[in-house]
Amino acid sequence: MESKTIHEKMFQEIKDPALFKQIQQYASEYIEQAFERNVYPEQSALANLKSFEEVFPEQSSHISTILKQLNEYGAPATVSEIGGRYFGFVVGGIVPAGLFARILTDCWDQNSAMQVLSPVSAKLEMVVEKWLQQLFHLPEQTAAGFVSGTSAATFSGLAAARYHLLKKLGWDINELGLYQAPQIRIVTGKEAHSTVLKAIGLLGLGKNHIEWVDTDDQGRIIPEKIPPLDNKTLVILQAGNVNSGSFDPFERICDQANAAGAWVHIDGAFGLWAAAVDDLKHLTKGMEKANSWSVDGHKTLNTPYDSGIILCKEREALVSALHMSGSYIVLGEERDPMFYTPEMSRRARIFEIWATMKFLGKAGINEMVGTLHKRALQFAKELTSHGFQILNKVYFNQVLVCCENDNITKATLENIQQQRVCWCGGAHWHGKAVIRISVCSWATTTKDVSKSVQSFIQARKSV
């Protein structure tokens, strides 16, 4: 019997219901265990990753075998970030609606560059853009671009700022480049996130030109320390310090910047979502007076990864900064998504954002994000009652913990990680070693927090 060609095999297997059932079985088993298992993989699971070290195969493999290998050796070596006890980085869980929407729409494999390539993704980008305006109380003209994460969103926002500021000075950056361009001033706090510095470097604005502003003991910019601003200035503020969770005083600084004709960008990767919570929206007061905002869905909204969002009040500036053209491009009647992101071809990441927001609604987002704050407060309260020190005011979802001295703190953190009950990371805060807790998953329960606190206690005893 003549063997099948690779094309024949692929046509057969993409329609094979047994493979879909195999995927469903493996996924269900993983999720069933994810909320109770140890957060970090066991050493044996890490050692078994060697099973993937093989010579590139000469012949095609069976899909069923590939899936089995991933499930047998890949799944045990994952970090259970969708569970309720991962607090290491600002990593959200995954709302079921977003997960299932991704599974379904990944089968569609839509390219969202142009409306003609995917009318449904273009339409949903328009819908979610309006929803975000309403949720964050932003001006109606605010544009939204859906990018890979906050790094790309920040890059896009600062690119729009660069274009806009130079255009007002009579310099078209797209045509003339940076050589001999007017110097743009950059003003930001000493606690600015590293992705902001990365974007500044990528855009050729020069990190050495940053005018650093002192911050207070919680990492917030001190308004009185801001230098005089002008129409050449890009001011970068923060909604949610990556360590303390604090928020810069937006209203006062934005008023000052607006009067001078400066551009304000707010890095709100996880913190911008506080604007959607009744009990937390005071933290973002005045943020609507900025010009652009970067935010991530996968952190606080708990969408799957690949859910960054750039929001820009100056739509023309964003489109001009990221615009591309070509004789082969077919312009749509409504929205062509590629004009709002650095990428042209990209997966239609809007589906899971739309599904998550539609599932939760305003009330659900208010409850879910507000609960993250409550769990962080619980962490601080229970740890304090057991003699741990909390070094920050718990504004949102971040908790900074330390012991009697740096050596004990570092050793305690190492023991916590080795126990694998929960997972936290470390940092330095005002000269002290700290254990950094980021509460980001909807799945974190009061029991998860208490169980994690017991792990802290046991880890300290073992020092």
User: Residue 302 domain-assigned?
Assistant: yes
Q: Cβ neighbours of residue 207 under 8 Å, at least 6 residues apart?
A: 197, 200, 201
**Which parts of the chain sit beneath pLDDT 50?**
1
Where does a domain end: 16, 50, 80?
80
Q: Does residue 285 sit in the same domain as residue 326?
A: yes
Q: Kindly list the distances between the CA atom of residue 454 and the CA atoms of 166, 281, 427, in Å, as whole numbers in the listed order.
A: 55, 32, 21
pLDDT at position 328 is 86
Same domain (yes/no): 148, 105: yes
Report how far apart, in Å, the C-alpha atoms of 344 and of each of 146, 319, 323 are. 12, 13, 10
In 10 A of CB 187, how many CB atoms? Answer: 22
Q: Do 189 and 335 share a domain, yes or no?
A: yes
> What pLDDT does residue 1 have?
42
| Strand (E) or helix (H) holding 212 | strand 210-213
Q: Are 120 and 71 contained in the same domain?
A: no
Asked if the structure places residue 288 within a domain, the reply is yes
The pLDDT, as a whole number, for residue 2 is 55
Based on the fold, state whether residues 124 and 169 are members of the same structural domain.
Answer: yes
Cα 300 to Cα 248: distance, rounded to the nearest angstrom: 19
Half-sphere exposure of 154 (CA within 13 A, CB side): 26
pLDDT at 82 (0 to 100): 96
Task: Note whether residue 187 is domain-resident.
Answer: yes
CA angle 175, 145, 86 (to 5 degrees): 130
Instruction: State the Cα–Cα distance between residues 196 and 189, nearest whole angstrom.
Output: 11
Task: Based on the fold, state whether residues 155 and 11 are members of the same structural domain.
Answer: no
Q: How many domains does the chain have?
A: 2
Establish how many alpha carbons lie within 13 A of residue 176's alpha carbon, considering only the half-sphere containing its beta carbon: 14
The phi-psi region of residue 189 (left if phi > 0; otherwise alpha if psi is between -120 and 50; otherwise beta) is beta
State both tokens at 89: 């980085």
Residue with tokens 């911050």: 215
Q: Is residue 406 part of a domain?
A: no
In a domain, 303, yes or no: yes
390, 353, 380: which is closest to 273 by C-alpha?
353
CATH classification at residue 104: 3.40.640.10
C-alpha distances in angstroms, 180 versus 88, 169, 171, 200, 206? 44, 13, 10, 18, 14
Q: What pLDDT was estimated at residue 3?
A: 73
d(CA 50, CA 337): 41
Place of tokens 């094309």: 7
The 3-state DSSP class for residue 380 equals: helix
| Domain end among 334, 357, 380 | 357
Domain membership of residue 405 (yes or no) is no
Residues 201, 261, single domain; the answer is yes
Global pTM reads: 0.96
44, with CB counted inside 10 A (0-12, 13-18, 19+), is exposed
Q: The tokens of 321 are what?
A: 């900064």
Would you tell me how many other CB atoms lie within 10 Å of the CB of residue 194? 9
Domain stop point among 299, 327, 357:
357
Is residue 212 domain-shared with residue 298, that is, in the same domain? yes
Task: Provide the H-helix boundaries in 327-445.
Answer: 350-385, 406-419
- Token pair recorded at residue 449: 């927090």
Instruction: Identify whether residues 25 and 154 lie together within a single domain.
Output: no
- What domain range includes position 309? 100-357
Furthest-apart CA atoms within the chain: distance in Å: 83
Classify residue 121: in a domain, yes or no: yes
Note the pLDDT of residue 4. Answer: 85
Looking at the fold, whether 76 and 218 belong to one and the same domain comes out as no
DSSP conformation letters of 36-69:
TS-SSPPHHHHHGGGGG--PPPSS---HHHHHHH
* Helix and strand numbers, DSSP H then E, in the chain: 14, 11
38 and 110, same domain (yes or no): no
Q: Same domain for 111 and 45? A: no
Query: Would 365 be classed as within a structural domain?
Result: no
